[in-house]
Structure 1
Protein backbone atom coordinates (compact mmCIF):
# COMPACT_ATOMS: atom_id res chain seq x y z
CA UNK A 1 0.00 0.00 0.00
CA UNK A 2 1.23 3.48 -0.85
CA UNK A 3 2.43 5.47 2.23
CA UNK A 4 -0.03 8.31 1.57
CA UNK A 5 -2.91 5.84 1.41
CA UNK A 6 -1.83 4.34 4.72
CA UNK A 7 -1.79 7.80 6.25
CA UNK A 8 -5.23 8.53 4.83
CA UNK A 9 -6.53 5.22 6.20
CA UNK A 10 -5.16 5.98 9.67
CA UNK A 11 -6.62 9.49 9.64
CA UNK A 12 -9.97 8.08 8.50
CA UNK A 13 -9.96 5.50 11.27
CA UNK A 14 -9.13 8.17 13.86
CA UNK A 15 -11.90 10.41 12.53
CA UNK A 16 -14.39 7.53 12.68
CA UNK A 17 -13.33 6.70 16.25
CA UNK A 18 -13.68 10.34 17.27
CA UNK A 19 -17.12 10.50 15.67
CA UNK A 20 -18.24 7.37 17.48
CA UNK A 21 -17.04 8.76 20.80
CA UNK A 22 -18.88 12.01 20.14
CA UNK A 23 -22.08 10.12 19.23
CA UNK A 24 -22.17 8.23 22.53
CA UNK A 25 -23.66 11.34 24.08
CA UNK A 26 -22.84 13.71 26.90
CA UNK A 27 -24.18 11.33 29.57
CA UNK A 28 -21.29 8.93 29.06
CA UNK A 29 -18.78 11.71 28.46
CA UNK A 30 -19.60 13.34 31.80
CA UNK A 31 -19.20 10.12 33.77
CA UNK A 32 -15.67 9.61 35.11
CA UNK A 33 -13.86 6.47 34.06
CA UNK A 34 -14.17 3.57 36.49
CA UNK A 35 -10.64 2.35 35.88
CA UNK A 36 -7.70 4.74 36.03
CA UNK A 37 -5.24 4.79 33.17
CA UNK A 38 -2.21 2.71 34.09
CA UNK A 39 0.98 4.71 34.01
CA UNK A 40 3.73 3.14 31.98
CA UNK A 41 7.15 3.01 33.52
CA UNK A 42 10.13 3.25 31.18
CA UNK A 43 12.04 0.05 30.52
CA UNK A 44 15.19 0.00 32.60
CA UNK A 45 18.24 -1.28 30.76
CA UNK A 46 21.52 -2.36 32.29
CA UNK A 47 24.36 0.15 32.22
CA UNK A 48 26.43 -0.30 29.05
CA UNK A 49 29.82 -1.86 29.67
CA UNK A 50 31.38 -0.70 26.40
CA UNK A 51 30.78 1.51 23.41
CA UNK A 52 29.41 -1.18 21.08
CA UNK A 53 32.37 -0.88 18.73
CA UNK A 54 32.25 -4.51 17.66
CA UNK A 55 28.61 -4.24 16.62
CA UNK A 56 29.15 -0.91 14.89
CA UNK A 57 32.06 -2.33 12.91
CA UNK A 58 29.98 -5.37 12.01
CA UNK A 59 27.07 -3.25 10.70
CA UNK A 60 29.30 -0.71 8.96
CA UNK A 61 29.16 -2.13 5.40
CA UNK A 62 25.35 -2.22 5.38
CA UNK A 63 25.07 1.27 6.85
CA UNK A 64 27.54 2.61 4.31
CA UNK A 65 25.63 0.97 1.45
CA UNK A 66 22.30 2.43 2.66
CA UNK A 67 23.79 5.93 2.75
CA UNK A 68 25.35 5.46 -0.70
CA UNK A 69 22.02 4.27 -2.12
CA UNK A 70 20.17 7.22 -0.58
CA UNK A 71 22.67 9.74 -1.97
CA UNK A 72 22.56 8.10 -5.41
CA UNK A 73 18.76 8.30 -5.37
CA UNK A 74 18.67 11.92 -4.17
CA UNK A 75 21.23 13.00 -6.78
CA UNK A 76 19.55 10.98 -9.53
CA UNK A 77 18.00 12.28 -12.75
CA UNK A 78 14.44 13.54 -13.24
CA UNK A 79 13.41 10.02 -14.24
CA UNK A 80 14.41 8.53 -10.86
CA UNK A 81 11.76 8.30 -8.14
CA UNK A 82 12.90 10.07 -4.99
CA UNK A 83 15.42 12.32 -6.70
CA UNK A 84 15.70 16.01 -5.97
CA UNK A 85 15.54 16.74 -9.70
CA UNK A 86 12.22 14.88 -10.04
CA UNK A 87 10.67 16.68 -7.09
CA UNK A 88 11.98 20.02 -8.42
CA UNK A 89 10.21 19.30 -11.72
CA UNK A 90 6.97 18.57 -9.86
CA UNK A 91 7.35 21.85 -7.92
CA UNK A 92 7.86 23.71 -11.21
CA UNK A 93 4.81 22.00 -12.74
CA UNK A 94 2.61 22.89 -9.76
CA UNK A 95 3.75 26.51 -9.87
CA UNK A 96 3.12 26.74 -13.62
CA UNK A 97 -0.36 25.25 -13.17
CA UNK A 98 -1.17 27.72 -10.39
CA UNK A 99 -1.78 24.99 -7.81
CA UNK A 100 -0.64 27.01 -4.80
CA UNK A 101 -1.43 24.45 -2.10
CA UNK A 102 0.29 21.65 -4.02
CA UNK A 103 3.24 23.94 -4.79
CA UNK A 104 3.67 24.82 -1.10
CA UNK A 105 3.53 21.18 0.00
CA UNK A 106 5.95 19.98 -2.67
CA UNK A 107 8.30 22.90 -2.08
CA UNK A 108 8.47 22.09 1.65
CA UNK A 109 9.27 18.48 0.77
CA UNK A 110 11.92 19.67 -1.68
CA UNK A 111 13.55 21.84 0.98
CA UNK A 112 13.70 18.87 3.37
CA UNK A 113 15.02 16.53 0.69
CA UNK A 114 17.78 19.00 -0.24
CA UNK A 115 18.76 19.20 3.44
CA UNK A 116 19.33 15.44 3.48
CA UNK A 117 22.28 15.62 1.07
CA UNK A 118 24.75 17.42 3.38
CA UNK A 119 23.60 15.36 6.36
CA UNK A 120 24.10 12.06 4.52
CA UNK A 121 27.41 13.25 3.07
CA UNK A 122 28.64 14.05 6.59
CA UNK A 123 27.49 10.64 7.83
CA UNK A 124 29.29 8.98 4.95
CA UNK A 125 32.47 10.85 5.87
CA UNK A 126 32.05 9.85 9.53
CA UNK A 127 31.55 6.21 8.55
CA UNK A 128 34.75 6.28 6.50
CA UNK A 129 36.65 7.39 9.60
CA UNK A 130 34.95 4.65 11.64
CA UNK A 131 35.84 2.07 8.98
CA UNK A 132 39.48 3.10 9.18
CA UNK A 133 39.38 2.80 12.97
CA UNK A 134 37.66 -0.61 12.80
CA UNK A 135 40.31 -1.85 10.39
CA UNK A 136 43.13 -0.62 12.64
CA UNK A 137 41.57 -2.46 15.59
CA UNK A 138 41.14 -5.68 13.59
CA UNK A 139 37.35 -5.40 13.80
CA UNK A 140 36.63 -5.07 10.10
CA UNK A 141 37.84 -3.78 6.79
CA UNK A 142 37.45 -0.25 5.48
CA UNK A 143 34.63 0.27 3.02
CA UNK A 144 35.48 1.09 -0.57
CA UNK A 145 34.37 4.53 -1.71
Structure 2
Protein backbone atom coordinates (compact mmCIF):
# COMPACT_ATOMS: atom_id res chain seq x y z
CA UNK A 1 0.00 0.00 0.00
CA UNK A 2 2.88 2.36 0.83
CA UNK A 3 4.40 1.82 -2.65
CA UNK A 4 1.13 2.78 -4.38
CA UNK A 5 0.98 6.07 -2.48
CA UNK A 6 4.55 6.91 -3.43
CA UNK A 7 3.88 6.06 -7.06
CA UNK A 8 0.74 8.18 -7.04
CA UNK A 9 2.62 11.10 -5.47
CA UNK A 10 5.42 10.87 -8.03
CA UNK A 11 2.86 10.68 -10.84
CA UNK A 12 1.03 13.72 -9.52
CA UNK A 13 4.24 15.71 -9.29
CA UNK A 14 5.21 14.70 -12.82
CA UNK A 15 1.80 15.75 -14.12
CA UNK A 16 1.97 19.09 -12.31
CA UNK A 17 5.44 19.73 -13.73
CA UNK A 18 4.23 18.92 -17.23
CA UNK A 19 1.28 21.29 -16.89
CA UNK A 20 3.45 24.11 -15.54
CA UNK A 21 5.95 23.62 -18.35
CA UNK A 22 3.14 23.86 -20.92
CA UNK A 23 1.94 27.29 -19.77
CA UNK A 24 4.79 29.29 -21.37
CA UNK A 25 4.36 27.35 -24.60
CA UNK A 26 0.72 28.35 -24.76
CA UNK A 27 1.55 31.97 -24.08
CA UNK A 28 4.10 31.93 -26.89
CA UNK A 29 1.43 30.80 -29.36
CA UNK A 30 -0.72 33.88 -28.81
CA UNK A 31 -1.02 36.16 -31.86
CA UNK A 32 1.53 38.97 -31.99
CA UNK A 33 -0.50 41.20 -34.31
CA UNK A 34 -3.95 41.52 -35.82
CA UNK A 35 -2.83 39.89 -39.08
CA UNK A 36 -3.56 43.00 -41.15
CA UNK A 37 -0.75 42.27 -43.60
CA UNK A 38 -2.18 38.81 -44.35
CA UNK A 39 -5.73 40.16 -44.62
CA UNK A 40 -4.60 42.76 -47.15
CA UNK A 41 -2.68 40.13 -49.09
CA UNK A 42 -5.72 37.81 -49.33
CA UNK A 43 -8.21 40.63 -49.94
CA UNK A 44 -8.65 40.22 -53.73
CA UNK A 45 -9.31 36.47 -53.48
CA UNK A 46 -11.66 36.98 -50.54
CA UNK A 47 -13.62 39.63 -52.42
CA UNK A 48 -13.83 37.39 -55.48
CA UNK A 49 -15.04 34.41 -53.45
CA UNK A 50 -17.77 36.45 -51.72
CA UNK A 51 -18.91 38.00 -55.00
CA UNK A 52 -19.18 34.55 -56.59
CA UNK A 53 -21.21 33.26 -53.64
CA UNK A 54 -23.61 36.22 -53.79
CA UNK A 55 -24.02 35.81 -57.56
CA UNK A 56 -24.72 32.09 -57.10
CA UNK A 57 -27.31 32.69 -54.36
CA UNK A 58 -29.03 35.35 -56.48
CA UNK A 59 -29.03 33.14 -59.59
CA UNK A 60 -32.13 31.81 -61.32
CA UNK A 61 -33.61 28.33 -60.93
CA UNK A 62 -31.13 26.87 -63.42
CA UNK A 63 -28.11 27.80 -61.28
CA UNK A 64 -26.97 25.13 -58.84
CA UNK A 65 -26.80 26.60 -55.32
CA UNK A 66 -29.23 29.45 -55.93
CA UNK A 67 -32.09 30.33 -53.63
CA UNK A 68 -34.49 30.18 -56.59
CA UNK A 69 -33.45 26.62 -57.45
CA UNK A 70 -33.90 25.46 -53.87
CA UNK A 71 -37.29 27.22 -53.71
CA UNK A 72 -38.33 25.26 -56.80
CA UNK A 73 -37.21 21.99 -55.20
CA UNK A 74 -39.15 22.84 -52.03
CA UNK A 75 -42.26 23.56 -54.10
CA UNK A 76 -41.81 20.30 -56.04
CA UNK A 77 -41.46 18.29 -52.82
CA UNK A 78 -44.57 19.90 -51.37
CA UNK A 79 -46.57 19.26 -54.54
CA UNK A 80 -45.45 15.62 -54.56
CA UNK A 81 -46.50 15.20 -50.92
CA UNK A 82 -42.98 14.29 -49.76
CA UNK A 83 -43.35 15.83 -46.31
CA UNK A 84 -39.96 14.78 -44.93
CA UNK A 85 -38.12 15.96 -48.04
CA UNK A 86 -40.09 19.20 -48.00
CA UNK A 87 -39.14 19.83 -44.35
CA UNK A 88 -35.47 19.07 -44.99
CA UNK A 89 -35.25 21.25 -48.09
CA UNK A 90 -37.26 24.06 -46.50
CA UNK A 91 -34.82 24.16 -43.56
CA UNK A 92 -31.92 24.34 -46.04
CA UNK A 93 -33.75 27.13 -47.86
CA UNK A 94 -34.16 29.12 -44.64
CA UNK A 95 -30.44 28.81 -43.96
CA UNK A 96 -29.47 29.69 -47.53
CA UNK A 97 -31.65 32.81 -47.43
CA UNK A 98 -29.89 33.87 -44.22
CA UNK A 99 -26.52 33.63 -45.96
CA UNK A 100 -27.26 36.44 -48.37
CA UNK A 101 -27.42 39.33 -45.85
CA UNK A 102 -24.35 37.95 -44.06
CA UNK A 103 -22.34 37.83 -47.28
CA UNK A 104 -23.51 41.31 -48.29
CA UNK A 105 -22.38 42.64 -44.90
CA UNK A 106 -18.98 41.00 -45.39
CA UNK A 107 -18.74 42.46 -48.88
CA UNK A 108 -19.37 45.97 -47.50
CA UNK A 109 -16.87 45.39 -44.69
CA UNK A 110 -14.26 44.34 -47.24
CA UNK A 111 -14.73 47.61 -49.12
CA UNK A 112 -13.67 49.46 -45.99
CA UNK A 113 -10.77 47.03 -45.51
CA UNK A 114 -9.66 47.61 -49.12
CA UNK A 115 -9.65 51.36 -48.54
CA UNK A 116 -7.59 50.90 -45.37
CA UNK A 117 -5.12 48.54 -47.07
CA UNK A 118 -4.65 50.96 -49.97
CA UNK A 119 -3.81 53.75 -47.51
CA UNK A 120 -1.01 51.73 -45.88
CA UNK A 121 2.56 52.26 -47.03
CA UNK A 122 3.88 49.52 -49.27
CA UNK A 123 6.63 47.28 -47.83
CA UNK A 124 9.02 48.41 -50.60
CA UNK A 125 8.61 52.07 -49.64
CA UNK A 126 9.85 51.44 -46.10
CA UNK A 127 13.17 49.97 -47.25
**Structure 1, residues 27-73: CA drift from partner, whole Å, max 9, x if none?**
xxxxxxxxxxxxxx9x8352322211111000000001000000000
Residue aligned with 2:113, SS: helix
Please state if 1:62 is matched with 2:45.
yes
Output the CA distance in 2 between the equivalents of 1:138 and 1:94: 56
**RMSD of aligned residue pairs (Cα, Å):** 1.8
Partner of 1:111: 94
Q: Which of 98, 111, 116 is 1:128 aligned to?
A: 111
C-alpha separation in 1, matches of 2:87 and 2:71: 12
Q: CA deviation at 1:127?
A: 0.5
| Higher Cα Rg, which structure | 2
Picking from 84, 90, 93, the partner of 2:67 is 84
SS of residue matched to 2:60: coil
How much has 1:109 moved relative to structure 2? 0.2
Q: How does 1:1-145 map to 2 (within 5 A)?
A: 44=26, 46-138=29-121
Listed as ranges, the gaps of 5+ residues in structure 1 are: 1-40, 140-145
In the superposition, the TM-score normalised over structure 2's length comes to: 0.73
- The TM-score, its normalising length taken from structure 1, stands at 0.64
CA distance in 2, matches of 1:63, 1:138: 21
